[in-house]
Amino acid sequence: MNTKPALSKVIERSQQILEGEKSSERTIKYDLYAVSNFRGGIGKSTLTFNLAYEVSRDHRLLLLDTCSQKNLSQAMFGPQLSDQPANLYEALVADITNTHGVSFDDLTVRANPYCPPFQGGKPVYAIPGASELFLFPSLLYSQLAQFTQLATAQKQASKRVLTTIERIVEGASEIAKPGKTIIDTSPFFGGATHLAWCAAEALIVPVRVDQNSIDALRLTLQMLEDEKMDFHRFNAQAGISHTPKVHAIVMTHCGWSRQKKNTPDSSTKFFAQKALELADEFASHFSEEDVSSCFYLLDDFHSSGRISGHQRIPLSKLYAGDKYLVDGQRLEVNPSVDRYKYEIANLAAAL
């Protein structure tokens, strides 16, 4: 594929969004998404937090935090995170070991009262993460390794383990009754991210405009494609054929030209084109036939993103020039937050 016409379409659509025009409706939408890419520091949890706010304007929402860093959980619950009666790690262990020690009433917490900006929207329920999630891959794969020794029940036992998050979502949904569910994953595939992929209908993949993120995108797409890699290899053991579609490639930390209004700078264009080339290579895994329609450009939100995460304020509620104290530094909301409001609202409308 010649990606230049595709890149032109992405840029043109981005310009329309920044000028306040509505972009074309996506032809396919899903109920359960996982935000995933195999690299840290790209703004994944900040993106999930802000998407959650935008989506909750119109839909009841269920959030799961599968990352041991708990950034999304901290954004939703703040200092009250440690007061929550149960967390995802406890639920995963209880389900896999069949001990049933966690009730969904304790696990599924309405988050709106803990995060004031979310009040006034639809109900948002969240299942908190836990630091112990970094231990979970060991438990998961030791269980799957044991099941390879079973003669007749290998598939059934393996499938039960790999569909653990799917069952947790089903149980929590009885309480939350969500219109949409979003799972925030860790930068590593092993463990809870694997289970999130088994449960998710589609992926939202943040890609920072740098080479390391492009490499991580390739690995992410290869994991969906290559039957010899862990996702398909373990799923085959369980008789699972489900593969989530890539619904959105979200280019984060984009820079903009000073000469042409609402036009990405040369570096952003370069890495967006590389991402488009990868998307074309793995086009069968995208939710749209035209992979360029799955691409979204988000502003460079270095200061605003830090403020949003630390102060637990969605970017839509921040205003250029406002100042906040973050980790002892006085940070100012930069003017790019105004563009970001259009961009994040448009991405949320595509879900």
Residue 189 DSSP one-character state: -
- Its pTM stands at 0.95
pLDDT digit string, tens, across residues 236-272: 999 999 999 999 999 999 998 888 888 999 999 999 9
In 3D space, the residue among 25, 75, 72 whose CA is nearest the CA of residue 196 turns out to be: 72
In 3D space, the residue among 340, 329, 270, 268 whose CA is nearest the CA of residue 304 turns out to be: 340
Q: Is 149 exposed, middle or buried (0-12, 13-18, 19+ CB in 10 A)?
A: exposed
Structural domains in the chain, sorted by start: 3-349 (3.40.50.300)
> How large a percentage of the chain has pLDDT more than 70?
97
pLDDT digit string, tens, across residues 100-158: 778 999 999 999 999 999 998 999 999 999 999 999 999 888 888 888 777 667 788 89
Task: Supply the pLDDT for residue 97.
Answer: 86
pLDDT digit string, tens, across residues 162-218: 999 999 999 999 999 999 999 999 999 989 999 999 999 999 999 999 999 999 999
Task: Supply the pLDDT for residue 113.
Answer: 96
Q: How far from each other are the two terminal CA atoms of the chain, in whole angstroms?
A: 27
Amino acid, single-letter form, for residue 107? L
- CA–CA separation, 149 vs 36, rounded Å? 32
The residue among 155 and 31 whose pLDDT is bigger is 31
- C-alpha torsion angle, residues 131, 134, 135, 138 (rounded to 10): 160
Least confident of 300-304, 307-311, 327-331: 300-304
